[in-house]
């Protein structure tokens, strides 16, 4: 049975697009990433040294919360 999971490159591109829609900036490569919330906040929302799995989980949580974060 063929593997239907996207390659890491495709997955990274999909997560970067999702991050942009949710008003995050996603930086990094080589398996480690940083997410920074890019909207006006009283303090910067930033997560560092994340794997693609962790990026995906964090973005999916924000997606469920909505753009307001709550």
Q: Number of folded domains in the chain?
A: 1
Spatial contact of 36 and 43, defined as CB atoms under 8 Å apart: no
pLDDT at 67: 60
Q: Is residue 70 part of a domain?
A: no
Helix (H, G, I), strand (E, B) or coil at 1: coil
Q: Is residue 30 part of a domain?
A: yes
Q: Is residue 1 part of a domain?
A: no
1 or 5: which leads in pLDDT: 5
Q: Is residue 28 part of a domain?
A: yes
pLDDT digits (tens, 9 = 90+) for 20-66: 999 999 999 888 999 998 787 777 788 999 999 999 999 999 888 77
pLDDT at 48: 94
Q: Is residue 32 part of a domain?
A: yes
pLDDT at 70: 54
Spatial contact of 17 and 29, defined as CB atoms under 8 Å apart: no
Q: Is residue 69 part of a domain?
A: no
Range of the domain at 26: 8-64
Strand 32-37 to 24-29 pairing: antiparallel
pLDDT at 15: 95
């Amino acid at each position: 049975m063929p593997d239907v999971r996207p390659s890491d490159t495709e997955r990274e591109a999909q997560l970067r697009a999702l991050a942009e829609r949710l008003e995050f900036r996603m930086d990094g490569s080589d398996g480690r990433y940083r997410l920074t919330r890019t909207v006006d906040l009283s303090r910067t929302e930033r997560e560092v040294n994340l794997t693609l799995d962790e990026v995906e989980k964090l973005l999916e949580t924000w997606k469920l919360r909505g753009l307001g974060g709550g």
